[in-house]
């Protein structure tokens, strides 16, 4: 059986950020600076809650790749940590879930530069998550990712132009499969400002940024 809660934590909850270094300003979709923060008002299957996100670690190499660690908080409690492998040409998710306990092999590219409408790419690999019994579960995944539009997004701070990225992921384990559909909006020099997702089991997520501070 596919463990739904691990996939929700590891594959979709307000994730996927891009990089700023070695990228033209017009293409910079997320500044990789420790201390940068975002607050998103999320609605998960009808229930609204604020989620705070902060870059806590950047393991930098010269030249790239860099590893960027992003922490997710609900109030004073951390519920997810994600690590991204960032280069001048792409941003790929390496780890996710509580404490960054889930591993994605190879890392899943969520942004590819230059960002142009209509650009698409594919991913195939495995996702390993811990189980409640102390072991681990590995499933196979295939994804199609596309930059679908560059459009205005309404926020409490006004309208912000952003790239809309659609990610369709199918995961398979034990003869069962699940489809996870995500759309992310990335604004130049700000980062992710909106996400909408559905998980095929009645669970849906939608959220829009209410504030941010870029260091």
Full-model pTM? 0.83
Pick the CATH number of 4-213 from 1.10.760.10, 1.10.10.10, 2.40.360.20, 3.30.413.10: 2.40.360.20
In degrees and rounded to multiples of 5, residue 190 shows phi and psi of -120, -50
101-135 per-position pLDDT tens digit: 999 999 999 999 999 999 999 999 999 998 888 88
| DSSP β-bridge partners for residue 159 | 154
Residue 25 has pLDDT above 80, yes or no: no
Residue 5 has pLDDT above 70, yes or no: no
CB contact at 8 A, 162 and 189: no
Q: How far is residue 196's CA from residue 51's CA, in Å, rounded to a whole number?
A: 14
Q: Residue 215 burial (CB < 10 Å; 0-12/13-18/19+)?
A: exposed
Q: How far is residue 58's CA from residue 39's CA, in Å, rounded to a whole number?
A: 20
The band of 175, judged by pLDDT with boundaries at 50, 70 and 90, is confident
Percentage of the chain beyond pLDDT 70 is 85
């Amino acid at each position: 059986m596919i463990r739904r809660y691990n996939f929700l934590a590891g594959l979709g909850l307000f994730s996927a950020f891009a990089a700023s270094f070695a990228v033209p300003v017009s293409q910079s979709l997320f500044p990789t600076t420790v201390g940068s923060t975002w607050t998103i008002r999320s609605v998960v299957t009808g229930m609204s809650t604020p989620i705070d996100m902060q870059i806590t670690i950047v393991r930098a190499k010269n030249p790239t790749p860099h590893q960027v660690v992003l922490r997710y908080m609900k109030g004073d409690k951390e519920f997810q940590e994600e690590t991204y492998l960032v280069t001048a040409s792409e941003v790929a998710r390496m780890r996710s879930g509580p404490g960054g306990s889930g591993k994605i092999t190879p890392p899943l590219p969520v942004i590819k530069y230059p960002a142009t409408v209509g650009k698409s790419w594919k991913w195939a690999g495995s996702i390993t998550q811990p189980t409640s019994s102390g072991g681990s579960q590995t499933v196979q995944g295939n994804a199609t990712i596309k930059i679908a539009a560059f459009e205005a997004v309404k926020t409490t701070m006004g309208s912000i132009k952003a790239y809309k990225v659609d990610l369709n992921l199918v995961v398979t384990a034990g003869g069962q499969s699940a489809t996870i559909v995500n759309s992310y909006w990335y604004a130049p020099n700000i980062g992710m400002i909106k996400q909408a997702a559905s998980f095929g089991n009645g669970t849906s997520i939608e959220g829009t940024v209410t504030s941010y501070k870029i260091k």
